[in-house]
Amino acid sequence: KNYSIALLPGDGIGVDVVREGKKVLDTVSALHGGFTLNYEEYDWSCEYYAKHGKMMPDDGLERLRNFDSIYLGAVGYPGVPDHVSLWGLLLPIRRQFEQYINLRPVKLLKGIQSPLAGKTPEDLDLIVIRENVEGEYSNIGGRMYEGTDMDMAIQNSVFTKKGVERVLRYAFDLSQAKGKKKHVTAATKSNGINHTMPFWDEYVHKINKEYPDVTSSIVHIDALAAFFVSKPETFDVVVASNLFGDILTDLGAAIVGGLGIAPSANINPEKRYPSMFEPVHGSAPDIAGKGIANPIAAIWCTSMMLEQLGEQDSAEAIMTAIEDVLQEKEILTPDLGGKSTTEEVGDYICKKLKNS
């Protein structure tokens, strides 16, 4: 088999971590055989924006359409407003390619110490499914009366039957197929947000009826955030709207070792379009160019990519190599208390793969 992968390293540390992820992909495909990988690299980024006044060429999405997967580092850099970089590249990809599922595992890997006292890898093993194309990130609204005392901004949220049902079904399906607790937790805020969130809750009840062997609970996002810290072991599959899922997963990353190791996958479940794999973290301007970004989040993404492509053995081999390196604690970047560089960690994970 041959898979085509579009590389979008983007800005800042995105460039460094994607380089290491590609190395790991090459290593695992050479070792396990059975598949080869073809890459095409695109320099679409804030630097590209500075030269061309846009984040990608007009036919950018057209060029990406026929790849099997997209592998992205991060976009966003001082000098270009974050909403420009996000709406100029990342969000159009997620939307155009109907990547309506954003999978974000919150899983404590072996060798990582959680900041939550006494929590083990068994306690911290859940997955957040974030709705990825509608909800609070709607692009509907506007600024009015600027420069006057009535200056104001309005942003509408959009929740549709189609959008809500498909993300909830994905969550219940996942829980039914792989869940340890056969329980789905849905994030809400239907006390304060009184149109969209009661709508969301109603569909949670409705879709749950299609899955008699799975239970569900609906928890307010503020309380849910607190429970992620106080009793994370009670969760299994968590489903949330676009904004709530975004916030919850940075918190999720923090309880399992930080942004340096948190992966995410933007999935088009129907496989009509490519899915996109990217670390949760951004371009980290504070450490960009220093060669010390942790590549593990981006490397974990390559495992999620191979899993989605159907290369289960290679996907697992990458996770084993990552956990070996984390448990040894010899070669780690500074965010995990080590002194090694991005490249050293990437090389070491490749070495573990070769020796496995």
Helical H runs in 256-311?
Answer: 296-309
Q: Which positions ≥6 away from 112 have C-beta within 8 Å?
A: 256, 257, 261, 326, 336
Selected from 90, 171, 207, 301, the binder of ligand NAI by CB under 6 A is 90
281 binds, options ligand NAI, Mg ion, none, Cβ within 5 to 8 A by partner type: ligand NAI
Using alpha carbons, list the distances in angstroms from residue 251 to 70, 133, 290. 25, 21, 26
**Does residue 98 belong to the site contacting ligand NAI (CB under 6 A)?**
no
For ligand NAI, the closer of residues 170 and 300 by Cβ is: 300
246 binds, options Mg ion, ligand NAI, none, Cβ within 5 to 8 A by partner type: Mg ion
Which stretch in 56-64, 121-129, 208-216, 290-298 sits in contact with ligand NAI by CB under 6 A?
Answer: 290-298
* Least distance CB 334 / ligand NAI (angstroms): 7
Sequence letter at residue 3: Y
**Does residue 286 belong to the site contacting ligand NAI (CB under 6 A)?**
yes
DSSP for residue 124: S
**Does residue 246 belong to the site contacting Mg ion (CB under 5 A)?**
yes
For ligand NAI, the closer of residues 103 and 293 by Cβ is: 293
C-alpha to C-alpha distance for 36 and 32, rounded to whole angstroms: 10
DSSP for residue 76: -
Residues 324-353, mask of contacts with ligand NAI (x by CB under 6 A): ---------x-x------------------
By C-alpha distance, which of 343, 263, 332, 250 is closest to 297? Answer: 263
C-alpha to C-alpha distance for 317 and 294, rounded to whole angstroms: 19
Using a 10 angstrom Cβ sphere, with 0-12 exposed, 13-18 middle and 19 or more buried, the burial of residue 354 is exposed
For Mg ion, the closer of residues 5 and 106 by Cβ is: 106
Which residues make up the interface to ligand NAI (CB under 6 A)? 13, 17, 74-77, 82, 90, 259-260, 278, 281-287, 293-294, 297, 333, 335
Which residues make up the interface to Mg ion (CB under 5 A)? 246
